[in-house]
Structure 1
Amino acid sequence: MTMKSPQPAKLHGYGVRWDTEARCYRVRNEMTGQWLRSAATGELASFTFFSDAWSAWKVFEVHKRPGEQ
């Protein structure tokens, strides 16, 4: 699937987003607007489990979030 827009449509959530069409989680750096992509293929990274996507997001978007010290 080729994405023409830098931000896939129909995704909701903060950082970790559910892609309703692909039926998987996607990860976005909310500070830069950049989407996490596969290093091997360059395609948007996809995750079956929220916990895996959350872990990837915590590494991908490195900054203090509300409530963190």
Structure 2
Amino acid sequence: MTHAHTPRRLHGYGVRWDPEGRCYRVRNETTGQWQHGADGELASYTSFTVAFDAWRVFEPPRRLGE
């Protein structure tokens, strides 16, 4: 699913709840792309904690003073 085809309900960055999928989705803050699994489908997480950990991998490094 490309950025142009991402459902409107999932616009944003970081960890988002997908009410239709009843799961959390993760968006890469550096590239703006949604995380996909090995099967090519949007990655889904049932636990916010696990989704947040996946999101932190994509979190851009903070600069000193920001």
- Taking structure 2 as the reference length, the TM-score comes to 0.75
When the two chains are superposed, the root-mean-square deviation of aligned CA atoms in Å is 2.5
**Which residue number corresponds to residue 48 of structure 2?**
50
- Taking structure 1 as the reference length, the TM-score comes to 0.73
How many aligned residue pairs are there?
63
By relative contact order (CA 8 Å, sep 6+), the higher-ranking structure is: 2
Identity over aligned pairs, percent = 59
| Aligned residue identity for 1:32 | T
Unaligned stretches of 5+ residues in structure 1: none
Bigger helix share: 2
1:22 aligns with 2:21: yes
**Which residue number corresponds to residue 64 of structure 1?**
61
